[in-house]
Chains A and B, each alone.
Chain A
Amino acid sequence: MSAGKTVTLNMGPQHPSTHGVLRVVLELDGERVIKATPVIGYLHTGIEKTMESKLYYKALPATDRMDYLSPMSNNLGYCLAVEKLMDIDVPEKVKWARVCLAELTRIKSHLVWLGTHALDLGAMSMLLYAFRERESIVDIYEACGGQRMMTSYIRIGGLAHELPRDFDKLVRKALKQIPQGVKDYEDLLTANEIFIRRTRDVAVISAGDAIDYSLSGPMLRGSGVNYDVRKANPYSGYENFDFQIPLGKKGDAYDRYLIRVEEIKQSLRIIQQAIDGMPEGPYRAHIPGVVLPPKEDILYKMESMIFHFKIITEGFKAPCGSVYQAVEAPKGELGFYIAGDGTNKPNRVRVRPPSFINLASLPKLVEGGLFSDVVCAIGSVDIVLGEVDR
């Protein structure tokens, strides 16, 4: 490419805009990127292996810590996989509540993405604005699971507790507040000349390449491929909801921005339907020996107390066999492959992490571009290193 020598620049693992501890080794010719090599593993915590040594229900909190920006989606994926393995059917109310929480999680994750992506491009106020709206969702988390990030609220066979009393009120408050925020973001960015120049035709990936790289989520749909697990293989009752899948045309960073903003709006629609049509019913399936019995039964019924004791101390045994269950996490298709061997612990847990697979396309996105575009590309992939490294 050039007669002169190139410069090798080590971007990360400590760098303000690699979203954690991603390291990218760049070969630069002036400002132009010739070669980019992502180096990962700085946040490897062995989550999959840890889950194999835990009882089925005790493995759940580990999933919170993968994509720590969307814990509810991870919980949901794992619980659905175990429920599929155990052949558990959950009550209707649980399904609706899970959809509602998963969509809140999607908005929450996209808001953090929007804030950090804009911050990478220099619009620093966006970060604070996005976190302002995110707060209303974190408040709902806190009311549900007691924690603001690592909720572990969705459990095998149902939910951890009954939905909080003011759940309806909190969600409706968020439903009112977030659209105003989204309008602010669009006013600031969508038609902003500098923002468009920074993202249009940057980090482009064609539909064919996107499929070849096995991309999913907004990365795939940005290139115009219509694949969303919620529509393709509906789970948890998504077939009952009316929503659209936004698609891009060019597959550049700007398309992915538009898609994520539109997804926030579609998620708001789903949440509205879920909260309006939330059925009455128990918050857990009634399956003695697998799902914890209600608290009042434990106090007054002998069998319930025995089951409670047994589940807590030695868990439940899952049958032999393997299942794969995917959910549409905010970042893409999040899949759990679980192999049961008849004991109370999973024999093998393997996660299909959307961030990791989407990140693999980074060299394709940035090579030949400019150094500033690397920051834009990493931002538009939307990675969480906790999930990449697991």
Chain B
Amino acid sequence: MVEIIIAAGIKVIFVLAAVLTGCAYATYMERKVVGHLQHRIGPSYAGPYGLLQPIADAVKLMFKEDIVPDKVERATFALAPLVSFIPALLTFAVVPFGKDNTVFGYDVKMVLSDLNIGILFVFAITSLGVYGIVLAGWSSGSKYSLMGGIRSSAQMISYEVSYGLSIIGVLLIANTLSLRELVEQQASDSIWFFSNWFIFKQPLGCLLYVTCAIAETNRLPFDLPEAESELVAGYHTEYSSMRFAMFFIGEYANMIAVSAVGATLFCGGWQGPFVNEIPFIGIFWLALKVFVFMFVYIWLRGTLPRFRYDQLMNFGWKVLLPLALLNTMVTGLFVVMGWF
């Protein structure tokens, strides 16, 4: 019993540390990649190649004055960053990051919690994140923040449906909700290690998932809640110091989370060459796939202009939703006919 608790504790600490470090270095990666896209070199002063920049940022934010404006709803104002930050981290509880193996004679499952409804858990939890944004916008007592919050909730409604429908195809094919089983079904022993990835059976589903995930994480071209050139900073205009940092880390944790789930659903999760010979290499494969997803996000941010509020709604309801429904229907037909 004690052993189970200790093992779980070690895993939690390991995952939490990995995710938080990942968030910190996601900001570094974003600044470097966008910098190079824009003929700049990005951060380069703190440490070699600017590698200590995230630490410098963290220290700076911690020592900043925590300003709470007069007219805020204090309790909600304090709660909102947490509501936005914590669900982003909770997602990682069900993402498997390697092949089960034996360490020091113990069987270790390389996942914090092997829920049989894992994917439902992911969607339930990530949807909570938007409450943080809405509450922040409402409690700030600023019109810009309020508009950011309203935009976010409207965006949420338009995208959550397509977001959910985009993965139905995969679930129909795999016939399971457990992320661990999803990954195992994508294994392949042949030289074409990626041949069983669901992205090849669900290309449209993957595209829809990525698009909705961008809207879900409030990134360009769907970053309306914080549209800098319009709403100053949107919902977090009035936040400073560590409260702001929590929104910031929450956003990156969310990006990593949707990337990890996307990689698990469509690109085989931790599957890759040599996973049977060297079990721990699964972590590396998963990280690599997350990295590719993240790069696409950052690449889009460096290239595209922002949608307008009404255009975003139109796009969500009139383009994404019908496509997602179509994808579900066609996949259903294929499954019934036994063509997969």
Which residues of A line the B interface, CB within 8 A? Answer: 7, 9, 15-17, 31, 118-125, 128-129, 132, 188-189, 192, 194-195, 197-198, 370-375
CB <8 Å contact, A9 and B143: yes
User: Which of the residues B229, B305, B310 comes within 8 Å of A17, measured between beta carbons?
Assistant: B229
B282 interface residue (CB < 8 Å to A):
no
- 9 A-B contacts, Cβ less than 8 Å apart? A31-B310, A119-B229, A121-B305, A123-B303, A124-B34, A194-B305, A198-B306, A198-B307, A198-B308
CB atoms of A125 and B306 under 8 A apart: no
Partner-binding segment picked from B37-45, B68-76, B93-101, B133-141: B37-45
Q: Enumerate B193-250 residues with CB–CB distance to A below 8 Å.
A: 220-221, 223, 227-230, 232
Q: How far is the CA of A310 from the CA of B228 in the complex (A)?
A: 55
Complex Cα–Cα for A7 and B144 (A): 11
Inter-subunit contact A122/B221 (CB<8 Å): yes
Name the residue of chain B whose CB is nearest to the CB of A8: B143
Number of cross-chain contacts by CB at 8 Å: 77
Given contacts A31-B310, A122-B229, A198-B305, 11 further A-B contacts (CB under 8 A): A16-B229, A119-B229, A122-B227, A125-B34, A129-B39, A189-B305, A197-B311, A198-B307, A198-B311, A372-B227, A375-B230
Q: A7-B143, A128-B40 are in contact. Are A123 and B304 (CB under 8 A)?
A: yes
List of A residues within 8 angstroms of B40 by Cβ: 128
B-side interface residues toward A, CB under 8 Å? Answer: 34, 37-40, 143-144, 147, 220-221, 223, 227-230, 232, 301-311
Smallest beta-carbon distance B60→chain A, Å: 21
Contacts of A372 in B (CB 8 A): 227, 230, 308-309
Do the beta carbons of B229 and A121 come within 8 Å of each other? Answer: yes
Q: CA of A238 to CA of B16 in the docked complex: distance in angstroms?
A: 68
Distance A188 CA – B302 CA, assembled complex (angstroms): 11
Asked if A15 meets B232 with Cβ closer than 8 Å, knowing A122-B221, A125-B38, A373-B308, the reply is yes
Q: Is the CB of B39 within 8 A of A194?
A: no
Are A371 and B230 within 8 A (Cβ)? yes
The reply to whether A371 and B307 contact each other, CB–CB distance below 8 Å, is no
* CB–CB B303/A188 < 8 A: yes
CA distance A195 to B307 in the complex (A): 8
Interface centre among B228, B230, B305, B306 (most CB of A within 10 A): B305
| B309–A194 CB distance below 8 A | no
Q: Are B39 and A132 in contact (CB under 8 A)?
A: yes
Most buried by B among A16, A132, A372: A372
Q: Is the CB of A122 within 8 A of B304?
A: yes
Q: Which residues of A have CB within 8 Å of B311?
A: 197-198
Are B307 and A197 in contact (CB-based, < 8 A)?
A: yes
CB-CB < 8 A to B223: which residues of A? 122
Q: Contact at A125–B308, with CB atoms within 8 Å?
A: no
Contacts of A370 in B (CB 8 A): 308-310
Distance of B91 from chain A, by nearest CB (Å): 27
By a CB distance below 8 angstroms, the chain A residues around B37 are: 125
Kindly provide the distance from the CB of A45 to the nearest chain B CB, expressed in whole angstroms: 27
One of B302, B307, B309 near A124 (C-beta < 8 A): B302
**What are the residues of chain A within 8 A of B304 when measuring CB–CB?**
122-123, 192, 194
